[in-house]
Amino acid sequence: MVIAVRRIIFFATLFTIWEILYRLNQVYEVRSTTLFPSPIGAVEQLYIGFFETGILTEALSQSLQRIAVGFTLAVIIGALLGIVLGISKIADETLGSLVIALQSVPSIVWLPIAFVLFGVGNTAIIFVVTLGGTWAMTLNMRMGIKNVEPILIRAAKTMGYQGKELVWRVMIPASIPSALTGMRLAWAFGWRALMAAELIGRGGLGRTLMDARDFYNMDLVIAIMVIIAVIGLIVEYLVFNKIEKNVLSRWGLNDNR
């Protein structure tokens, strides 16, 4: 509760300072008033976009659908690749080097290829989002598999676990904390890739932001940026933080200080 109050006070202070600077700029015109947005104006645009025109409601819905599909695919594909790299030395030495190379390529670079392959639409953007999150998930899952305590593997073998059973019943459960880190990174990279792809593609928050910029509606630009940031905070604090606490508590890794 104390942390929540501190955060509210912090953001309220920022909001107030921003509004003061906006009003001072209106008086002294240090910068063009058109290009210096107002926080109150951004709030008004949020209300208009959600409750009057519905523009932001539609854009947010489209973006959330894209990130949901892209993130899910990234987690599934990345987890499977990570398991293969973690248990196979040959795959790690060959396919693993390709994964590392692809991780260094910004996902937005794939957008022109995606447009050629899938056209300018949902599929192309989801493809880019999936690539944005897959490699982080892969590498973290690989690390989790490789860092399983040898004593666990030896104990499992003495109990008769071999081959696939050893992987599914011992190695994968033991690597879940690393997999959670991979999911968190996959979300972050995927969300950024989505916004970048939508700036060029069609629909969603990114395209709406570009349209607002073209019409010099800076209040709406800031409003969309606020939505993007708030979605990130919600996913981080209300989803991943809670999952992380449960996982670390179950694995005996939580910090009780």
User: Predicted confidence band at 7 (pLDDT cuts at 50, 70, 90)?
Assistant: confident
> For the whole model, what pTM was predicted?
0.88
Q: What is the pLDDT of residues 138-196, one digit of tens each?
A: 999 999 999 888 888 888 888 877 778 888 888 888 888 899 999 999 999 999 999 99
- Integer-rounded Cα Rg, in Å, for the chain is 23
Q: Which residues of 4-21 are buried (b: 16+ CB within 10 A; e: fewer)?
A: eeeeeeeeeeeeeebeee
The answer to whether 144 and 86 are in contact (CB under 8 A) is yes
Please tell me which residue, 155 or 60, carries the higher pLDDT value.
60
Residue 194 region by backbone torsions, left for phi larger than 0, else alpha for psi between -120 and 50, else beta = alpha
User: Predicted confidence band at 73 (pLDDT cuts at 50, 70, 90)?
Assistant: very high
pLDDT of residue 9: 93
The secondary element (H helix, E strand) that includes residue 107 is none
Q: What structural domains does the chain harbor? A: 61-250 (1.10.3720.10)
Burial of 190 (0-12, 13-18, 19+ CB in 10 A): buried
Largest CA distance in the chain: 79
Separation CA 112–CA 27 (nearest Å): 45
The answer to whether 47 and 56 are in contact (CB under 8 A) is no
User: Predicted confidence band at 47 (pLDDT cuts at 50, 70, 90)?
Assistant: very high
Mean pLDDT of all residues in 57-68: 96
Tokens (6 digits) for 161: 């676990």
Distances (CA, A) of 18 to 24, 52, 108, 176, 226: 10, 26, 32, 43, 14
pLDDT of residue 12: 92
pLDDT of residue 143: 94
pLDDT of residue 257: 43
pLDDT of residue 238: 87
CA 135 to chain centre: 13
Q: What is the pLDDT of residues 187-235, one digit of tens each?
A: 999 999 999 999 988 889 999 999 999 888 999 999 999 999 999 989 9
Q: Provide the angle, in degrees to the nearest 10, between the axes of the packed helices 89-103 and 122-146.
A: 130
